[in-house]
Structure 1
Amino acid sequence: MLDLLIEHETLSRSDVRTLTGLSKPTASSLLQRLEESGLVRPSGLGDTGPGGRAPQLYRINPAAGHAAAVDVRPGSVRVRISNIAGAIVMERVEENDQAANGPESAAAIIRSCCDVAGLSPDQLDAIVVSVPGSYDIATDTLNYVGHLPGWQRPSVGAELRTLFPDASVAIENDVNLAAIAERHAARGESESFFLFWLDDGVGGAIMIDGALHRGSRGAAGEAAFLLIPGAVFDAESRTDGALERIVGDQALRGLAAAAGHEAATAREALSALLDDPTAAPVVTELCHRYACAIVSVIALLDPARVVLAGELARLGGERLRAEVARQLAAIMPAAPQLTLTVATDTPILDGAMLMSLEIARDRVFTT
């Protein structure tokens, strides 16, 4: 019944009976118990029915619990806090050199957001922290986070749980969380897909039957380490990834420079290449590299669809998608559907929020 109230926002006793198949006395008794527990509260009257009486409506008590989502990036931390019903009560971005300097810095920002929202930190039931790296649950360590020095030490999860002992704390890879947001936004589509993340760096996430596949060490989907034709394997490739070397930020800026366009970021580089008709062969070559990487994934996973996501995928839009699809068709006989992301422009934070709310509701609703 609580899940139905989350889905429909408000329900009457009659709605509950219809949706659950419970008898009238049982539905009424259950609603009364939930109201007494503080999880449900009356929410006005519905439309007048055939008998001339307007039914009492009920909704989840939004103050019954709270969840926090945290997106940690080099030089910035974004925090969002929602009540148990999913309404955002606070969101803030902290941008400075110290913002992402380890769990204690993130914790300070979370506490500050709680203060602004009028909450005590112990009112948070769940906290999900997104990081651009892979989290090994067994060893409680983060890998591939050389760009986040404060998060390289061991037991980062234990440290966060010590800082927030009343919350259920989880650490998750940023692209995995983007895949959760994609699954939510693309409801009705196949729930088995590979999300190919194109941004300053390259990454991936594997969704199988609606569930993330993280691998034995949390490193499944680390597409930066795919070794495709044209990639060079050397000491730098071993640490940064061979695919990253030829499609990442530095590589894109190099491609743009060779075409006569100086760019400070990967986004500027791709934008310049797309706007320059004479650079079309360079865009084709870039899409060929993307396609070669995707082929390797398809050969192993055979996903129902492949989703292009990240800032560069959004920037390239249909032109980029169509060219990668054309390259895929030329390389292999039967490629799966290739689509652009339908998630919002903050998929990582949205995915973290969805995951945090799921954990919080499980804690609150089963108490």
Structure 2
Amino acid sequence: MLDLLIEHDTLTRKDVSTLTGLSKPTASSLLQRLEESGLVRLSGFGETGPGGRAPQLYRINPAAGYAAAVDVRPGRARVRIADIAGSVVMECVEESDRAANGPESAAAIVRSCCDRAGLSPAQLDAIVVSVPGSYDIATDTLSYVDHLPRWQHASVGAELRMLFPDASVAIENDVNLAAIAERHAARGESESFFLFWLDDGVGGAIMIDGALHRGSRGAAGEAAFLLIPGAVFDAESRTDGALERIVGYPALRARAAEAGLEAATAPEALRALLDDPTAAPAVAELCHHYACAIVSVIAVIDPARIVLAGELARLGGERLRAEVARQLAAIMPATPPLTVTVATDTPILDGAMIMSLGIARDRVFTT
């Protein structure tokens, strides 16, 4: 019943009876119990029925719980807090390296955001922290986080849980969270897909039947380390990833420079390459690298669809998608559909919020 109230916002006793199959007296009794527990509250009246009486409406009590999502990366931290019904009550952005200084610094930003929302940190039922690295639940450690040096110690999750003892705290890879946002936004599409992340760092996420596949060490989807034709394997590749070296931000800027195009950033470089007809060979080569990486994934997991996501994918849009699809077709006789993400401009934070709300609701609704 609580899940139905989340889905439909408001329901009458008759609605509850119809949707659950419960008798009207049982539905009424259950609604009364939920109201007394503080999970459900009255919400006005619906349209007047045949008997001349307007039915009482019920909705989730938004103050019954709160969830927080935290996106930590070098130079910036973003925190979003929502009530249990899913309405955002506060969002804070800090443009500094403060959150990169470790869990305690990130926790301070969360506390500050709670203060601005008029909440106590103890009121948070769930906190999901996004990091640009792989989290191994078994060892409670992060990998591939050289850019977040003070997060590279054992028991990083335990430290966060000590800082927020009243909440259920989870750490998740940023691209995995983008995949959660994609699954949520693309309802009706297949829930088995590979999300190829083209952003400040190449990555990937594997979604199978609506569930993330994280691998044995939380490192599934680390596409930056794919070794494709044209990649060079050396000490730098071992650290940063062979694929990252030939399609990452520095390589993209270098590719634009070789084509005689000026660009201060990688997104500007991609835009310049796409806008210049004479740079078509450079674009084709870039997309060929993307296609080779995707083929490696298709050969192993055979996903129902491939999703291009991240800043570069959104910027490249249909032009980039079509060229990658053409390159894929030239390599493999049959490939799954290739699409550009339909998630919002903040897919990582959105995915963290979806995950955090799920954890918070399970916790609040089962107490």
- 2:339 maps to 339
Rounded to whole Å, the distance in 1 between the matches of 2:202 and 2:48 is: 55
Amino acid at match of 2:44: G
Per-residue displacement from partner, 1:248-281 (whole Å, max 9, x unpaired)? 0111011011011232321111111112111111
- Aligned-pair CA distance for 1:203: 0.3
Amino acid at match of 1:116: R
8 Å CA contact 2:71–2:78 kept in 1: the answer is yes
- 2:254 maps to 254
Rounded to whole Å, the distance in 1 between the matches of 2:323 and 2:26 is: 58
- 1:181 maps to 181
Is 1:87 the counterpart of 2:93? The answer is no
Moved >6 Å (runs of 4+): none
Rounded to whole Å, the distance in 2 between the matches of 1:150 and 1:48 is: 60
Rounded to whole Å, the distance in 2 between the matches of 1:255 and 1:267 is: 12
The alignment yields a C-alpha RMSD, in angstroms, of 0.6
Is 1:14 the counterpart of 2:14? The answer is yes
- Aligned-pair CA distance for 1:96: 1.3
- 1:305 maps to 305
- 2:273 maps to 273
User: What are the within-5 Å matches in structure 2 for residues 41-80 of structure 1?
Assistant: 41-80=41-80
- Aligned-pair CA distance for 1:9: 0.3
Is 1:36 the counterpart of 2:13? The answer is no
- Aligned-pair CA distance for 1:78: 0.1
Per-residue displacement from partner, 1:301-323 (whole Å, max 9, x unpaired)? 00000000000000000000000
User: What are the within-5 Å matches in structure 2 for residues 1-367 of structure 1?
Assistant: 1-367=1-367
User: Given the two structures, how large is their TM-score scaled by the length of structure 1?
Assistant: 0.99
For structure 2, the residue ranges without an aligned partner over 5 or more in a row are none
Per-residue displacement from partner, 1:175-221 (whole Å, max 9, x unpaired)? 00000000000000000000000012110000000000000000000
Amino acid at match of 1:294: I
Rounded to whole Å, the distance in 1 between the matches of 2:195 and 2:266 is: 19
8 Å CA contact 1:200–1:249 kept in 2: the answer is yes
- Aligned-pair CA distance for 1:80: 0.1
Amino acid at match of 1:362: D
Amino acid at match of 1:325: A
Amino acid at match of 2:347: P
Per-residue displacement from partner, 1:333-367 (whole Å, max 9, x unpaired)? 00000001000110000000000000000000000
Per-residue displacement from partner, 1:77-116 (whole Å, max 9, x unpaired)? 0000000000000001001132321101110000001011
8 Å CA contact 1:81–1:88 kept in 2: the answer is yes
8 Å CA contact 2:98–2:106 kept in 1: the answer is no
Rounded to whole Å, the distance in 2 between the matches of 1:302 and 1:75 is: 37
Rounded to whole Å, the distance in 1 between the matches of 2:148 and 2:8 is: 41
Amino acid at match of 2:71: D
Secondary structure of the residue that 1:42 maps to in structure 2?
strand
8 Å CA contact 2:40–2:60 kept in 1: the answer is yes
8 Å CA contact 1:256–1:270 kept in 2: the answer is yes
Rounded to whole Å, the distance in 1 between the matches of 2:122 and 2:283 is: 51
Secondary structure of the residue that 2:288 maps to in structure 1?
helix
For structure 1, the residue ranges without an aligned partner over 5 or more in a row are none
- Equivalenced residues, count: 367
Rounded to whole Å, the distance in 2 between the matches of 1:337 and 1:314 is: 17
User: Given the two structures, how large is their TM-score scaled by the length of structure 2?
Assistant: 0.99
Secondary structure of the residue that 2:104 maps to in structure 1?
helix
Amino acid at match of 1:133: G
Amino acid at match of 1:65: G
Rounded to whole Å, the distance in 1 between the matches of 2:99 and 2:213 is: 30
8 Å CA contact 1:101–1:149 kept in 2: the answer is yes
8 Å CA contact 1:200–1:265 kept in 2: the answer is no
Rounded to whole Å, the distance in 2 between the matches of 1:99 and 1:154 is: 18
Rounded to whole Å, the distance in 2 between the matches of 1:273 and 1:154 is: 43
Rounded to whole Å, the distance in 2 between the matches of 1:120 and 1:259 is: 55
8 Å CA contact 1:5–1:60 kept in 2: the answer is yes
8 Å CA contact 1:122–1:164 kept in 2: the answer is yes
Rounded to whole Å, the distance in 2 between the matches of 1:162 and 1:42 is: 37
Rounded to whole Å, the distance in 2 between the matches of 1:144 and 1:262 is: 31
Secondary structure of the residue that 2:100 maps to in structure 1?
coil
